[in-house]
A and B are shown apart, each in its own frame.
Chain A
């Protein structure tokens, strides 16, 4: 019925959004590192291999200190997050995987996930 249709549309849209998002994200990560933090909400937290980084300033510093990267995205999945968890704020769970080569290091596998809150296309991680 209508609920199902909505859900289906929801899922379709989520997929499209997530595809667009990851393009932007990894493009920034690889080529315009300074712009990356714009994608994060003020109160966002990033956990990177166990290192927790919160707040725009810390995030800025963190991304500056990371060597230049070359990400190769190989898997992408996305789910709309249930509204009960988000109190009505449309949120997406985006999960990525692939390989990354940081300058001075050898290539490794990576897994990453994001919680995107679609207000003004900013994310909360």
Chain B
């Protein structure tokens, strides 16, 4: 066939004589839309599809035409009549654009449409892609085995429901013929369900169901890999994926690799990661790329990448580059992307790009002026975390002695004896992190009540009230707090300052809230407490200020805490987990989303039977019986 029936114009097979004059093909509104957009952005005058130079040239070659022609007809992807299929396949640009718009579009935007292409009809108008999405608004409650036959029974046209799926309360499936769409549309409110309600059926034109579009089968992936291998220049460690979609090797195998599709790009990235992580140059030009999400991993998986060519794509904003900002690029090509037009001048363009890639020396083929000396290497290393800092051994002994005594009383169940630890004029206050959670459902609920956070509480009377003053008030307050068990072994102590009259230190660690009333759930919390003390009696300390900050412990903290068996007899021994149990715990935590503490509880309660625990969990979750704290990590 002459190249009128070429790749992008197949749907106009019927109007072959118009092949050269793409303008004349304007009966397809998408085409004209397409063209104008491209022309504006790429400055290309090649009419018709208006793509960048190379693509137009390819279009004009017979070789390309022949291949694409035959491929379309024979492709295994295409199960339906050639006319419909070719229409759908007409130019991936439009294909993709359909998807973005969400609908194949009905109505004539650019002039009348030739014939009856999409079928048009009251099934929701025409569908450029030829597909329609059927939605049953409350379909979730129906058994698919009831619903589909019920529809088929009353639908005047037999149909196959493609990609049936549930989305919240709705049920969707796809059909690919307009006659079917129309017929189904007529079925609305014709079926009565077992509750007496009429089943609603909505039908709208839509983009093709996703499964058809995207995934590459394993054998395709292998071909892709080989194709990429051919395009890899080992001497330069550079990979050229320019316009990969038209690669003869792929096209001849009917493999469609379109890099602006997430799954296709992901597949390519994976192949790079697994085969050529040493990559230094990557050319992705001419691939209609509009997002760089899938390239983020390159930062870690191909850390040597220095040259990146993204020219002739559809990147709309320089913000896309944020996603690959970690790459230490020396050379970058961005020309012929919509984003280039956003900058008022060259200088701001260069500046914006350089901000993301400070080491850049070449942009769009031009050498950049040397960066104005700013220190590219800003420190990013923070000092390693060290353990306790006592300042001196004497003080260490003093403090440890004090803490041991203090916490043995604190954890004993009666905090009254702490009166001896506090000065008459002592002050105490408590702070918890701000939380929007319902306090009654939070394990920190008991503490939230009395939290003194000056960022949140502005009333001076309230602020005053929340500061417990004089030791009687202090200890009375402490006695009302839940029973605790501290992991003294895990305490970290930092001495803030000391003078003859003052010793101030900060203690941090974790503690468990002990369940007094037989409830099995225990929460682990982390605290940071500042003690300001004065010397007392014989080598003792007396507290004048006590500030306590409490939050939920992180998963890591819980894991590390209470490693040694707790000293007091009332505590339950920490079960040591076997390796398989550890694995099961990690898996259960990941799948359920619950933190390790709760996951372990669940597994324990169900005798480490993963499936049983999972069932119980799911049931409880559906019943809304699992508190939010179970999910805080």
Interface pair A81/B545, CB less than 8 Å apart: yes
Is B547 close to A, CB under 8 A?
Answer: yes
Does A36 reach chain B (CB closer than 8 Å)? no
CB distance from B534 to the nearest CB of A (A): 5
* Interface residue? A65 (CB, 8 A): yes
- Cβ-defined partner of A74 (8 Å) among B391, B455, B496: B455
CB distance from B509 to the nearest CB of A (A): 12
Nearest CB on B from A74, distance (A)? 6
Q: Residues 9-36 of chain A: 1 if any B CB is under 8 Å from the residue's CB, otherwise 0?
A: 0011001001100000000000000000
Q: In the complex, which of the residues A103, A104, A109, A115 contacts B496, with contact meaning CB atoms closer than 8 Å?
A: A115
Q: A11-B467, A65-B379 are in contact. Are A87 and B427 (CB under 8 A)?
A: no
User: Which residue of the partner chain, among A18, A68, A104, A113, contacts B381 with CB atoms under 8 Å?
Assistant: A104
Q: Which residues of the partner chain B approach A97 to less than 8 Å between Cβ atoms?
A: 431, 433, 528, 549, 551
Residue contact B544 to A82, C-beta cutoff 8 Å: yes
Cβ contacts under 8 Å, A103 to chain B: 378-380
Q: Which of B57-65, B227-235, B345-353, B498-506 is near enough to bind chain A? A: B498-506
Task: Find chain A residues with CB under 8 A from B547 CB.
Answer: 77, 79, 93, 95, 113
Give Cα A74–Cα B433 distance, bound, in whole angstroms: 7
Residue of A nearest to B495 (CB): A47
Q: How far is the CB of A77 from chain B (nearest CB, A)?
A: 5
Question: Is residue B269 contacting chain A, with contact meaning CB distance below 8 A?
Answer: no
B379 near A77 with CB under 8 A, answer no
Closest chain-B Cβ to A9's Cβ sits at a distance in Å of 10
Whether the Cβ atoms of A66 and B382 lie closer than 8 Å is yes
Which residue among A62, A74, A125 has the maximum number of chain B CB atoms within 10 Å of its CB?
A: A74
CB contact between A75 and one of B387, B455, B460, B508 (< 8 Å): that residue:
B455
Residue of B nearest to A65 (CB): B379
Asked whether B544 lies within 8 Å of A84 as measured between CB atoms, the reply is yes
The CA of A60 and the CA of B433, in the complex, are separated in Å by 31
Q: Is the CB of A75 within 8 A of B530?
A: no
Instruction: Indicate which residue in B434, B464, B469, B502 contacts A85 across the interface (CB closer than 8 Å).
Output: B502
Question: Which chain A residues (81-125) contact chain B, with CB distance < 8 Å?
Answer: 81-82, 84-87, 93, 95, 97, 102-105, 109, 111, 113, 115, 124-125
Say if the beta carbon of B444 comes within 8 Å of chain A: no
Contact between A86 and B455, CB atoms less than 8 A apart: no
| Beta-carbon contact of A79 and B504 below 8 Å | no
Indicate whether A45 reaches chain B with its CB closer than 8 angstroms. Answer: yes
Residues of B within 8 A of A115 (CB): 496-497, 504, 532
- Please name the residue on chain A nearest to B508 by beta carbon: A111
Of chain A, the residue at the smallest CB distance from B383 is: A51
- In B357-407, the 8 Å CB interface with A consists of 378-389, 391
Chain B hits for A78, CB < 8 A:
454
Give chain B residues whose Cβ lies under 8 Å from the Cβ of A47: 389, 494-496, 506
Would you call B599 an interface residue if the criterion is a C-beta within 8 Å of the partner chain's C-beta atoms? no
Interface residue from B380, B427, B533 paired with A79 (Cβ < 8 Å): B427
- Give the residues in chain A near B379, CB-CB below 8 Å: 65-67, 103-104
Interface check B260, CB cutoff 8 A: no
Evaluate contact between B433 and A75: CB separation under 8 angstroms.
yes
- 10 new A-B contacts, CB < 8 A, other than A74-B453, A82-B534, A103-B380, are A11-B463, A11-B467, A75-B432, A79-B429, A84-B534, A102-B380, A104-B379, A111-B508, A115-B504, A124-B497
Shortest beta-carbon contacts, A-B, top 6: A104-B380, A50-B386, A82-B544, A85-B502, A49-B385, A111-B528
Q: B: which residues have CB within 8 A of A?
A: 378-389, 391, 423, 425-427, 429, 431-434, 452-455, 460, 463-464, 467, 469, 492, 494-497, 501-502, 504, 506, 508, 528, 530, 532-534, 544-545, 547, 549, 551
Interface residues of A (CB under 8 A from B): 7-8, 11-12, 15, 18-19, 45, 47-52, 62, 65-68, 73-82, 84-87, 93, 95, 97, 102-105, 109, 111, 113, 115, 124-125
